[in-house]
């Protein structure tokens, strides 16, 4: 990042360059499911933009990549408005930054409520967010996140995913609830899929995340049905008649109704426990069902979540810690993204 003494015209030029690059990379990633650079390279540019904006707040416009949720709505799908907005997550890249974030949030919660928050600590699944609308227990619509306000209608494609019930099981359903989660391809299924591709003389897929995203955004649901897509729930949007007090309690209720919840999350009391969780999954990230790119820490209490609220891009009650990028060793040189 330029020191404050850098001539302003140079700063503006670098700023414009970063916005242009990030916008281009986002379009390739979200709209074409075919990234042009690695996530780590993208994150470096994005951090540079954030730092430049911190030094020069006068440069920030409402449509800056730091102010909006990335992703458009492709013309291949009908556009649908989410009942409640969908957000991205604030990222931190070091344990020091994470500690500072958690201590600040805990202090603010303790000041307002007299007790520090409990932390719902989850894995950051490397997949694609979906928003499922259930009315009286029946799945009526499924959409991608899109720009957070408007997503793509992928109801027919989601109907092919066995993890996602068309009807909730049991009784006592809310009249309306938006259930959010991540669609992903399990690591072992991804390996098997690529073995099939190679055996058929085709190019293998580059990675599970973009393959899951591309598979879910097929025009023909019969194509989606051929891909081994799975889902874990990680949030709730609009709700009418769902009376739970914490996010973890909500997960337990959703699990009872047959929704796929993650086996990995924990509710923790202290920062030390959160750090232990991070260290544990840092060591065991390749022993999991799916790929992860970090850990998400959330305030578990829903009333406190509402009190903390959101910025235009991210919730103020949640943070994502990203593990340092790993060196990827692959035998498949010159991989072509194939979706």
Positions at the binding site for NAD(+): 39-43, 88-89, 122, 145, 182, 298, 322
* 19 makes contact with ligand NAD (CB under 6 A): no
Annotated binding site: 39-43, 88-89, 122, 145, 182, 298, 322
Q: Which of 53, 152, 182, 300 binds ligand NAD (CB under 6 A)?
A: 182
Round the CA-based radius of gyration of the chain to a whole number and report it. 20
Tokens 């070091």 appear where?
94
Interface positions, 57-76, toward ligand NAD (CB under 6 A)? 70
Q: Residue 144: phi, psi to the nearest 5?
A: -80, 170
* Of residues 122 and 152, the one with the C-beta less far from ligand NAD: 122
Q: How far is the CB of 257 from ligand NAD (least distance, A)?
A: 19
- Is 226 labeled as catalytic in the residue annotation? no
Q: How far is the CB of 124 from ligand NAD (least distance, A)?
A: 4
Q: How far is the CB of 81 from ligand NAD (least distance, A)?
A: 17
Q: Residue 174: phi, psi to the nearest 5?
A: -70, 155
Q: How far is the CB of 241 from ligand NAD (least distance, A)?
A: 23
* Of residues 92 and 109, the one with the C-beta less far from ligand NAD: 92
Q: How far is the CB of 35 from ligand NAD (least distance, A)?
A: 4
* 39 makes contact with ligand NAD (CB under 6 A): yes
* Of residues 29 and 77, the one with the C-beta less far from ligand NAD: 29
* 25 makes contact with ligand NAD (CB under 6 A): yes
Near ligand NAD by CB under 6 A, which window of 29-37, 165-173, 247-255, 271-279? 29-37
* 274 makes contact with ligand NAD (CB under 6 A): no
Catalytic residue, from 124, 162, 202, 331: name it. 124
* 26 makes contact with ligand NAD (CB under 6 A): yes
Tokens 């924990």 appear where?
266
Q: Residue 55: phi, psi to the nearest 5?
A: -75, -30
Interface positions, 76-135, toward ligand NAD (CB under 6 A)? 88-89, 91, 122, 124-125, 129
Interface positions, 235-264, toward ligand NAD (CB under 6 A)? 235
* 177 makes contact with ligand NAD (CB under 6 A): no
Q: Which of 15, 29, 93, 321 binds ligand NAD (CB under 6 A)?
A: 29
Q: Which of 2, 43, 50, 153 binds ligand NAD (CB under 6 A)?
A: 43
Q: What angle do CA 215, 255, 214 make, to 5 degrees?
A: 5
Contacts of 89 (CB under 8 A, 6+ apart): 124, 296, 314, 315, 318, 319, 320
Q: Provide the mask over 280-319, with x wherever binding to ligand NAD is found by CB under 6 A and - wherever it is not.
A: -------------x--x-----------------------
Q: Which residues bind ligand NAD (CB under 6 A)?
A: 25-26, 29, 35-39, 42-43, 70, 88-89, 91, 122, 124-125, 129, 145, 182, 234-235, 293, 296, 320
Residues with catalytic annotation?
A: 124
């Amino acid at each position: 990042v330029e020191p404050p003494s850098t001539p302003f015209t140079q700063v503006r030029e670098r700023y414009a360059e970063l916005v242009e690059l990030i916008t281009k990379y986002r379009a390739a990633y979200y709209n074409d499911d075919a990234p042009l650079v690695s996530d780590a390279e993208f994150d470096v540019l994005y951090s540079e933009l954030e730092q430049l904006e911190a030094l020069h707040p006068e440069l920030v416009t409402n449509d800056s990549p730091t102010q909006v949720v990335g992703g458009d709505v492709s013309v291949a799908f009908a556009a649908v408005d989410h009942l409640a907005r969908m957000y991205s997550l604030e990222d931190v890249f070091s344990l020091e930054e994470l500690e500072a974030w958690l201590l600040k949030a805990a202090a603010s919660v303790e000041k307002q409520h007299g007790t520090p928050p409990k932390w719902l600590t989850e894995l950051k699944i490397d997949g694609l967010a979906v928003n499922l609308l259930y009315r009286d227990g029946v799945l009526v619509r499924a959409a991608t996140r899109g720009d957070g306000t408007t997503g793509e209608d992928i109801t027919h494609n989601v109907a092919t995913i066995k993890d996602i019930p068309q009807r909730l099981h049991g009784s006592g359903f809310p009249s309306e609830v938006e259930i959010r989660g991540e669609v992903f391809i399990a690591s072992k299924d991804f390996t098997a899929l690529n073995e099939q591709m190679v055996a058929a003389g085709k190019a293998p897929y580059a990675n599970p995340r973009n393959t899951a995203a591309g598979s879910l955004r097929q025009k023909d649901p019969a194509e989606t049905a051929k891909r081994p897509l799975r889902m874990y729930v990680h949030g709730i949007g609009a709700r009418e008649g769902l009376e739970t007090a914490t996010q973890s309690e909500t997960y337990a209720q959703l699990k009872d109704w047959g929704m796929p919840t993650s086996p990995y999350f924990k509710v923790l009391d202290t920062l030390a426990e959160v750090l232990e969780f991070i260290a544990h999954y840092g060591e065991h990230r390749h022993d999991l069902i799916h790929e992860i790119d970090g850990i998400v820490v959330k305030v578990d209490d829903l009333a406190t979540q509402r009190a903390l609220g959101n910025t235009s891009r991210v919730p103020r009650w949640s943070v994502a810690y990203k593990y340092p990028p790993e060196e990827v060793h692959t035998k498949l040189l010159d991989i072509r993204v194939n979706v």
